[in-house]
Amino acid sequence: MDKMKGMRDGLSDRIPQQHKDKASDQFNRGKKFLTEEYFPEERRDQFIYRGKKVRLDIFYSVNCSPIFCL
């Protein structure tokens, strides 16, 4: 395990700092785009609500007989 950590650190040391900064900046820009612009909180909540609804619909259609379903 220590050998793998040493190899990882050795590879990380070879990458110039400017490339690390650029990669970090691109990652943060992508994360910001997804969380704020493409998938805002209202849309995320609606997506979760629909997913739960589909899950319940599938559960009740497969696991319930008509007598016990609400």
Q: What is the pLDDT of residue 64?
A: 61
pLDDT bin (cut points 50, 70, 90) of residue 50 is: very high
| Distance in angstroms (rounded) separating the CA atoms of residues 32 and 44 | 14
| Distance in angstroms (rounded) separating the CA atoms of residues 38 and 56 | 27
| Distance in angstroms (rounded) separating the CA atoms of residues 49 and 70 | 20
Is residue 29 a contact partner of residue 38, using CB atoms and an 8 Å limit?
no
Q: What is the pLDDT of residue 1?
A: 66
pLDDT digits (tens, 9 = 90+) for 11-41: 778 888 999 999 999 999 999 988 888 888 8
CA atoms within 13 A on the CB side of 45: 3
pTM: predicted TM-score of the whole model, two decimal places: 0.50
